[in-house]
Amino acid sequence: MSKTYFSKSLNGSFMQRLKETISKEFSGCKTVAVKIHFGEPGNENSFKPIQVKPVVDLLKELNFNYFLYDSSVMYSSLRDNPESHMKVALEKGWGSLGEVRTTDGFVVVKGENMSYEVCKELVDADAVLVLSHFKGHVCAGFGGAIKNLGMGALTKKSKAAIHTGGMPEIVGICKRCRLCEEACPMNFITVTDKPNFKGCLGCSSCIYACPYGVLRPKKNYYDTLLADGASAAQKSFKKYLYVNFIINITKLCDCASNPGKKIAEDVGYIFNNDAVSIDNASRELVNRQEGKDLFLEFNKKSGVEQLEAAQEFGMGEMSYELIHV
């Protein structure tokens, strides 16, 4: 059971404990990659440099050479190529924290379901500090540390393969119960004599919902592929540590230009070296505060699916010891 450190603020005790942990976990390292999401233009609730500066400053204090990194996205955006992605990041002020990198180089890593292209900048670094904004995600329920690697640490090709692999195929006679319609977080599905999946994002929610086994994923469930990709990335890192910021919690993720209004109050900050337990602790802290399964309500998926899959792939354990700092 991993020790997971939590605080409602970036207070002195929390920051000192984080500094000590980084120093211990990254001992002997020279270069640290800070894996972060620079945020889609227009998204006012995505990460901002001022929010993560206290954590990045710890790397300076410990005399690490570091850089901030994010990968290109698969959808049409200024962030879909290294050049304009870099421009977006610099315009948002990320350069004020240190060197910014947005290159598209990769290393192929074999997973359980397929091979994934893991971003070379992260693989080559001596350590990876994964800073994640914990919020909703339309396909995964929520996005945290696992999603930051299962999408953010992979190339556009691998991201697309995960979404495509989670798309449904019809393998039987539809009973027209319409439960797939109800399960779709984007309301894209219409059922006539059979389901129609126009605009499908490949979240696999309809497949989970079908009680008759009429639907199956093209490759595997989205959450399974997401966790498999995250596991492939983590296995390629020399050392790593996870920090989740459970603040500015919106329905949609930082990839959306308009993620919607905040759906919960800020919870706090949390870190450990186990992606599964940090995401599970983050989810449970949010649900405990709000008194409901927040992401199931807003995105029709609780997020437990990705946690269970990541645990199965050996990324970590869902159980944890929460230590308030």
Q: Are residues 129 and 203 in the same domain?
A: no
Q: What domain range includes position 307? A: 2-161+221-324
Domain end (from 179, 194, 217) = 217
Q: Are residues 63 and 153 in the same domain?
A: yes
Q: Are residues 16 and 120 in the same domain?
A: yes
Q: Are residues 149 and 284 in the same domain?
A: yes
**Which pLDDT score is estimated for 1?**
80
Q: Could you tell me what percent of the chain has a pLDDT over 70?
A: 100
Q: Are residues 292 and 260 in the same domain?
A: yes
**Which pLDDT score is estimated for 59?**
98
d(CA 223, CA 229): 10
pLDDT digits (tens, 9 = 90+) for 73-108: 988 899 999 999 999 999 999 999 999 999 999 999
Chain position carrying tokens 């706090």: 268
Q: Are residues 80 and 131 in the same domain?
A: yes
Answer yes or no: is pLDDT of 170 > 90: yes
Q: Are residues 157 and 179 in the same domain?
A: no
**Which pLDDT score is estimated for 260?**
85
**Which pLDDT score is estimated for 290?**
97
Question: Residue 121: helix, strand or coil by DSSP?
Answer: helix
Question: Residue 165: helix, strand or coil by DSSP?
Answer: helix
Give pTM, 2 decimals. Answer: 0.96
CATH of the domain at 260: 3.40.50.11440
Q: Are residues 38 and 130 in the same domain?
A: yes
pLDDT digits (tens, 9 = 90+) for 231-272: 999 999 999 999 999 999 999 998 988 888 899 999 999 999
Answer yes or no: is pLDDT of 323 > 90: yes
Question: Residue 154: helix, strand or coil by DSSP?
Answer: strand
Q: Are residues 174 and 235 in the same domain?
A: no
**pLDDT band with cut points at 50, 70 and 90 for residue 302:** very high
The rounded mean pLDDT for the chain is 96
Residue whose C-alpha is closest to residue 179's, from 208, 159, 158, 222: 208
**Which pLDDT score is estimated for 68?**
98
**Beta strands, E only, the chain:** 2-7, 31-35, 65-69, 99-101, 106-110, 115-119, 127-133, 135-137, 141-143, 168-170, 190-191, 195-196, 215-217, 240-246, 268-272, 320-324
Q: Both ends of the chain: CA-CA distance in Å?
A: 18
d(CA 137, CA 144): 9
CATH of the domain at 213: 3.30.70.20
Answer yes or no: is pLDDT of 18 > 90: yes
Total domain count, the chain: 2
Answer yes or no: is pLDDT of 48 > 90: yes
Q: Are residues 279 and 130 in the same domain?
A: yes
Question: Which residue type is seen at 323?
Answer: I
Q: Are residues 31 and 16 in the same domain?
A: yes
Q: Are residues 124 and 59 in the same domain?
A: yes
Answer yes or no: is pLDDT of 168 > 90: yes
Domain end (from 184, 217, 250) = 217
